[in-house]
Structure 1
Amino acid sequence: MMYKPGHITGKFRSKKMCGIDGCQRYHNSLLHNKILSKMPYQTGQRDRSVQPMLNCRLANEPRKQLFKMLPIDIYGPNGKYEILSMFDEGSAITILEEDIARKIGVRGQSHPLTLQWYNDRVVTEQSFKVNVEIGSRFDDKKFTLKDVYTVNHLNLTEQSFTKENFEHFGHVPLQNYSSTKPSLLIGLNQAYLGVTTTWIQGDNDSPIAAKTSLGWVAYGPTKSSTRSSPRVMVIKEQNLHKMVSDYFEADSFGVNPTSEQLESDEDKQARHILETTTILRPNKHYEVGLLWKKFPPQFPSSREMAERRLFSIEKRMHKDEKFAERYKEEMAKYVEKGYARKVTQEEVTESYAQTWYLPHFAVCNPHKPSKLRIVFDAAATANSTSLNASLLKGPEQAQPLMRILLQFRQGRIGVAADI
């Protein structure tokens, strides 16, 4: 006989009573609990595609044990909140109910998380990776939990604990709680919190009290029974839709063109500045903000450098009257069009951390000797700093050379233009 994953004895009825150790259930004696308890649980093929993060299982029979649950304080920007936590060595991650995260005011990066309940349903929800502080109820020690996942409902089992029911816990500082569900599941990534330094044990049918970094916690077998419904949960960080999408993206790599524009962080910053500062003036001209690497910029004094460059230009003007005349004409055009104005005496004497004096010089084209063009030198340096060094280059708008060369295979004639 072969047993498949998920097999349970309740599906196989026998006309003959078991009889082993007084068992009055109607099943074959080969299926008795003592034999089944020795059979290791194995997952089928369907489980292998899931990344198991948590496996918390309860039997559908009266249980006689306490899970490792402990009342603690959790802290956030909105203050302190009292919750019940649970240590689970079967969980690779730490999970917090989203309602608690909202109450203490913590928020983190959105992250997809899939919760699969066996024989029930599969739920994919947006989780948040948060960092929280927790502490013991009996001292002032606090511990920071990093990369904690939030879920809408942790849905762990409800548990009660009364210290007075156990004589060997008489002097142990354990806190009672009644019919409470854990809101925080502490996984293996926070294993140091569950390390036991001292423990107290009664007989083999009594729970153990263990001292951890978060205080004393009671867990293990008890002589009283409680009934709870079975719960099995498996969590994975990647849902099926994304896995299929990633597969096809890898399959078509280098074949299909991508609409996503690959940009560096600096280009993204420059594009954001362009999109947020570009405006159309009433005169139908556009105004664009400068692409500062850091804002506000900090400049050293540059007036002395600019004055030296100005004296050099004036010296040449004294030697060449035609050069001086054309230079003055070009500068007058800047004032006439509103590109430049004369600063006031107060502006000259006032000191600004963002002031930069921009030198300029003339460029003459040998093929157009009568035309003079003024160039503002943003590469001029003062104390090893220049205006260009404080600005981002911005995203590349020109066509890549490789694309231009490949386009010659599409048409016979290449066209170039200049503005």
Structure 2
Amino acid sequence: MEACELTGYMQNPMLLQELLEKLPTQLKLQWPMFPKDAKTPSMEFLSKWIYDIAEAASQVTSPLYHKKSGSLNHHTEAPKKQVKEIKCVVCNEPGHKIHSCPSFKAAPHQQKMSFLKNHKLCQQCLNRHHQKCQREKVCGIRGSRSKHHPLIHEMQPTLEAAKSSSLKGPAMVTNVHTPKGNHTQRSRESGSTYFSVIPIQFINKTKVTNTFAFLDEGSALTLIDNKIFKQLGLNGVPDPLYLKWTNDTTREENASERVTLMVANPHNGNHFHLEEVHSVDTLDLPVQSIDIRALAKEFPQLAGLPIASYTNARPSILIGTNNWNFVITLKIKEGAWHQPIASKTRLGWTLQSFTPSRATRANVSVRMCGCRDADAKMHNIIKQAFSLDATTAKPLSSLEETQALTRLESTTALKNGRFSLKFYYLIATQTH
């Protein structure tokens, strides 16, 4: 600082305090005991004090001598490791593991369990290990919380309240699983639910395939069942998916392919392109039936709408918000509360409703709030309180002034434009 002629910094107390804060605690305590010539110590005092401490420390410590060290880099060619070829333990075919083996996926449940037991494979990760499995993911199929692998989930042929496997979709209706197939039971007594299921046509060159689509505004993707994907003879771009639903339920689709499909509205024949459609192994959307004639008799708002009746229709494609032009509603027909709503989309008219059971039907009560009247009353009360507390100007006068004004008002009168005054005479009486 002296060499640079920065004399102003030599007396800077803030700079001095910052340097003191960087010292160890023991030296901070010694600094106030160091004798100083001025009330405000300068940087020169601090420099001399630190120099004396360094001199004292050098006298009680011995110098350290470090040996010189160096390094020599040399290159050697390591032997190439032989990469072990991946081979499936089920079909003995190279290139894939048991997770993506078609033979294992198509095998019955009992055969899968016997194979895992005979080969001592873990039911959680489908691998062989001797310690506790580190895989903590649950199955997730139909809401299962078991920690087995989804490929060995057993579909029980009993009555159960099945949850939908459509990703990020609403809660589904109760499906009844029987040996003859799956169908949906609905009744006016137990309540009915209709989802946005609509008949569409797939067009691949000259081939036209009739199917049903599920319009889901809660899904971020458009998914197609692998069965109809192969039936159409489509070839897409490999694009693996990692799907996630509520409660951290996940699903991996490593064999997914991405394509662009052409669909048509069966009612008017309009053609559209669905972009970014991903194939999935099993879509498994709920089965739905609609009798539009019976519904139109019960709900007049549905009469005359071009809605087709169908029985036990299972959608093979789920259209999400990445194709929002086909999901959004252009026009609606609605009736009373809890009655079905007909929605018009670019792919046609669809039906939506949820009618609760009579036993659980909730009565909706509307309460009119009187907040405005209460506010007005409160405003008037506060206004009156301020008016009572308001002070009025009162003249300040003495007793003599008040008596003079009173006498003036009593003796003065205005008559014919003139004031008349009354004079009082004091008659003095002299006593002899």
Q: TM-score, normalised by structure 1?
A: 0.38
In terms of fraction of residues, the more strand-rich structure is: 1
Give the structure with higher Rg (CA).
2
Q: TM-score, normalised by structure 2?
A: 0.37
